[in-house]
Amino acid sequence: MTEVMNEKQPATARFVALHERFQAASIEPAWLVQRRRAAAERLVEMGFPTTRDEAWKYTRVGPIVDRDWELPGVEIGVAGTEIERFTTWEDDAYRLVFVDGVYDAEHSRLDDLPEGLIVAAHSTLLREQPDLLEEIEGRHVEHAIDGFKVLNAALAADGAFVRVPRGLKLERPIHLLFVASGRAEVMSNPRNLIDVGDEAKAFVVERYVGLESGCYFTNAHTEVYVGCNAEVEHDKIQRESEDAFHIADLEVHIERDGRFSSTAISVGAKIGRHEVQQVQGGPNTCCTLNGLYIVDGDRVSDNVVVAHHSRDHGRSEQLYKGILDDRGLGIFNGSIIADEGTKGTDAHQTNKNLLLAEGAVAETRPQLEIYADDIACSHGATVGQLDPESVFYMLSRGIDEKTARAMLTHGFAADVIDRVGSAETRKRIEAYLAQRVSWAGVKVKEED
Amino acid sequence: MMLKIENLHASVHGKEILKGLDLEVKAGEVHAVMGPNGSGKSTLSYLLSGREGYEATRGRVLYDGKDLLELGPEERACAGIFLAFQYPVAIPGVNNMYFLKAAVNAQRKHRGLPELDAMEFMGLIEEKLKLVDLKKDLLSRSVNDGFSGGEKKRNEIFQMAMLEPRLAVLDETDSGLDIDALKAVADGVNALRGPERAMIVITHYQRLLDYIVPDKVHVLLGGRIVKSGDKSLALELEKKGYGWIEQEVGAV
C-alpha cells in the first residue's frame, strides 16, 4: 500500500497523517469514525486530481496539496468586532458563524426558530441529536467523487446543518458565514447539509470571507436536498483572501416538482473552485445555476457545473460570466447530461467571458452528453473584450475612461448580480465591483 | 466664432476622407451639412467628437479659439460638444438613468459645479421630458437596449437636452425614422435652439430640414464643402440631386 501511495501521489500521505491525528484526539460515534476512515482510505486509493482529469484540466492543485496544513484548533482567534462587520447587515437572518472552521456560538443567531426548523452546527448536533446526523449523512449518495471531496469527508470538523420541515415556508434567510482569520497554514473542511422538506421554502446564503491575507485553505462540501414541490434559493459568496485556496462543491438533490436556484459569486482566493452538481430525484424539477467569477493577478477561478437529467421533464439553466484581468485564469466547465430514455428535458447553458487584459485567459468548455431524443437544449460561450464603440459612446458624453470601463464591466455582470437573492448582498457586490473595477491594478479592501 | 474649421484634412485607417474642409459656425446658428454617401459626413462628426482612428493630417479646428483636436473625447464633451450618433450603441446592463446621471455629473464636476443629488437629478429629468417626447420607462431600461430606431434617436435628443451642450452635432439623426418620430426628434431639437447654442445637422436628405430650419446649408462633396447657401439650397438639392453640383465644381 505504502509503495503504491508513494508512487502515485505522496501528497495524500500527509493528509492521512492529519486524519490519524484528528481521529486520535476526538471521541465520535462509530459510524462517523468509520466514515472518516473509509474516506481516508479512498483518498489514498484515488489521490488528488491532476490536470489529466477532465474535470481538473486547467487547475493545478500542487500549490494546495504539496503543503503542510494544520487543522483548526478549538479557540476562536478573531476579535468579535471583526466578525460583527459581516453579521450586522443581514438583520433578519438566522445565522451560523464559523471562524477558521470552528463554530462561533456567540455570533450565531438562532433565536425565534419556528417549530420544527433546525439550524445548528454539526458539532452541536453531534452532541445533542447524533442519530439525526447519522440519518442524513447515511442518505448521501456520492457523485463524481474526487480527492478533495473525500478529504472533506475524512476531516470535516464542523459545518452547518439545516432542516426545514415539510410545508414550512421560511420568510427569513439562513445565513451561513465562514470567516477565515487569515492565519496561515490552517485548513478547514466545512460540511454543510441543508434538507428542505416537501412543500417547504427556504433561502440560504453561504458566505466565505477572509479577513487578512494569509495562505489558508477552505475545502467545503455542501449538500442540498430539495423536497417535492419545495423551493430553495441559494446564494454563495466566495471572497476569501487573495493568498488563500478555496475548493468547494455543491450537490443538489431535487425531488419531484422541486425548484432550486443558486447564484455563486466568486471573487477571492488564489485558486478558487466552485463545483455544482444537479441530481434529479424525481421528474419535473427546475434548477437554475448562475455564477460570476472575477480574477486578476495570477489567480485562478475554476467553475464546474453539471446539470444531470436522469428523470423526465427536468429544466435546467446555467448562466455563468467571468471577468478576467491581469494574468488571471477563469475556467468554465459546464455539462448537460441527459440520460437515455428521459423525456422533456429542457436544458440551457450560457457562458460569457470578459477579458480586461492581454494576459488574462478564459477557458470555456461546454460539454453535452445527450443520450435522450426528446430534449430541448442550447449552449453558447463567448470570450470578448469591452466594446470600443460602447466606451467611445460613454466618453462622448463626458464620462472618463476609467469610469466608462467600470460601468461597462459592471453592466456585463449585471444580469448575474440581479439574480442574487439577497438585496443587501446585491448592493454589496455592486459596491465591491464599482470600487474594484478600476482594473488598474488598484486593490481595494472593502467592507464586505 | 464658436467653431472654426480650416483646411481640414483627415484620414480614417490611413485613407484620406476629408480634403481641405472649411466651416465656420457662430453661437445661435444651425448649420446643415448635406452630402451624398461617402462624402465625409460621418468622418466630420467623429472627428469633432474625438473618435479614435480618425486623424487630422492637416489644417485645424478651433473651438472658442482653442485647438479642439488636442482634447480627448470626454474633454470635448465637458467643453460642451455633443454628438447625436447615427447608430447609438446599446449597452446591456447599464441603466439609462444611471448612465445619464454619470454623464451629467461628470460634466458638472469638470465645470466646477456641485454634482446633482438624486432629487435634483430627477427634477432635471422631469423638466427635460417636457422638451423631448420620450417614453419614461425607457429611462429605467439599459441604454438603448432593445429600443426601436425611433426610440434610440429620441434618447439621443433627450441626452442632448440633459447635457445642454453649446455645440451639438447631429449625425443623420433623421435616418430610418418614420414621420412621427422625425417630427418628435425635430421638435426636441427646435426646443433646444437658443442664442448660446450652435448646431450642425448632418443629413443626406432635405426632409429633416422641413422641420429643423437651418440658417445655413453646406454641401459636402469629396471631403470638402463645395457650396454654401441658405435653406433654399437644400430644396434645390432635393429637387435636382447632387449631380449638378458635382458638374459645377468639377470631377471629385
Q: SS3 for B151?
A: helix
pLDDT digits (tens, 9 = 90+) for A179-191: 999 888 999 999 9
Going by C-alpha positions, the residue among A211, A210, A207, A171 that lies closest to residue A192 is A207
Angstroms from A244 CA to nearest CA on chain B: 31
Per-residue confidence band for A9, with pLDDT thresholds at 50, 70 and 90: low
pLDDT value of position A2: 43
- Percent of chain A clearing pLDDT 90 (strictly above): 78
Going by C-alpha positions, the residue among B210, B175, B211 that lies closest to residue B191 is B211
For chains A and B, count residue pairs whose Cβ atoms are closer than 8 Å: 76
Q: Do B94 and A415 touch (CB under 8 A)?
A: no
Strands B15-25 and B3-12, by their bridges, are antiparallel
Decide: A327 and A362 in contact? Cβ < 8 Å: no
Name residues of chain B where pLDDT drops below 70: 250-252
Per-residue confidence band for A175, with pLDDT thresholds at 50, 70 and 90: very high
pLDDT value of position A183: 86
For residue B223, the surrounding DSSP H or E stretch is: none
- Percent of chain A clearing pLDDT 70 (strictly above): 94
pTM as predicted: 0.90
DSSP per-residue letters across A85-96:
HHHSSSTT-EEE
Helical residues (DSSP H) of A26-121, grouped into ranges:
30-46, 62-65, 80-87
Q: Measured between alpha carbons, how far is A393 from A115 in angstroms, rounded to an integer?
A: 56
The three cell numbers of residue A286 are: 427546475
Decide: B51 and B95 in contact? Cβ < 8 Å: no
Q: Is B164 on the interface with A (CB under 8 A)?
A: no
Q: What value of ipTM does the predicted structure carry?
A: 0.96
Nearest CA in chain A to B51: A392
CB neighbourhood size of B237 (10 A): 23
Beta bridge partners of A191: A221
pLDDT value of position B251: 53
pLDDT (average), residues A13-36: 91
Instruction: Tell which of B51, B94, B156, B169 to mutate to test the A interface (max A CBs under 10 Å).
Output: B94
Please, what's the largest Cα pairwise distance for chain B?
A: 58
Angstroms from B163 CA to nearest CA on chain A: 8
Q: Do A411 and B94 touch (CB under 8 A)?
A: yes
Is residue A432 predicted with pLDDT exceeding 70? yes
For residue B18, the surrounding DSSP H or E stretch is: strand B15-25
Q: Do A396 and B74 touch (CB under 8 A)?
A: yes
C-alpha torsion sign, points A57, A59, A64, A66: positive
Per-residue confidence band for A436, with pLDDT thresholds at 50, 70 and 90: low
Max avg pLDDT among A20-29, A144-153, A334-343: A334-343
Q: SS3 for A192?
A: strand
Q: Do B94 and A414 touch (CB under 8 A)?
A: yes
Helical residues (DSSP H) of B28-137, grouped into ranges:
41-49, 73-78, 96-110, 118-129
Nearest CA in chain B to A401: B74
Nearest CA in chain B to A388: B52
Q: Do B73 and A403 touch (CB under 8 A)?
A: no
Q: Is B49 on the interface with A (CB under 8 A)?
A: yes
CB neighbourhood size of A21 (10 A): 12
Per-residue confidence band for A447, with pLDDT thresholds at 50, 70 and 90: very low
Q: Measured between alpha carbons, how far is A344 from A332 in angstroms, rounded to an integer?
A: 26
Q: Is B39 on the interface with A (CB under 8 A)?
A: no
Residues of B in contact with A401 (CB under 8 A): 74
Q: What is the rounded average pLDDT for all residues in chain A?
A: 91
Angstroms from B77 CA to nearest CA on chain A: 5
Q: Is B94 on the interface with A (CB under 8 A)?
A: yes
Q: Would you tell me which residues 111-140 of chain B have a C-beta closer than 8 angstroms to some C-beta of chain A? A: none
Per-residue confidence band for A435, with pLDDT thresholds at 50, 70 and 90: confident
Nearest CA in chain A to B48: A396
Strands A315-324 and A286-295, by their bridges, are parallel
Angstroms from A408 CA to nearest CA on chain B: 7
Angstroms from A388 CA to nearest CA on chain B: 9
Q: Is A71 on the interface with B (CB under 8 A)?
A: no
Q: Do A411 and B78 touch (CB under 8 A)?
A: no
Q: Do B73 and A396 touch (CB under 8 A)?
A: yes
The three cell numbers of residue A1 are: 500500500
Nearest to A396 among B77, B98, B142 (CB): B77
Decide: B44 and B129 in contact? Cβ < 8 Å: no
Q: Do A400 and B102 touch (CB under 8 A)?
A: no
Per-residue confidence band for A429, with pLDDT thresholds at 50, 70 and 90: confident
Residues of B in contact with A387 (CB under 8 A): 89
The three cell numbers of residue A442 are: 488598484
Residues of B in contact with A395 (CB under 8 A): 50, 72-74, 77
Q: Is A23 on the interface with B (CB under 8 A)?
A: no
Q: Do A407 and B77 touch (CB under 8 A)?
A: no
Is residue A259 predicted with pLDDT exceeding 70? yes
Per-residue confidence band for A6, with pLDDT thresholds at 50, 70 and 90: very low
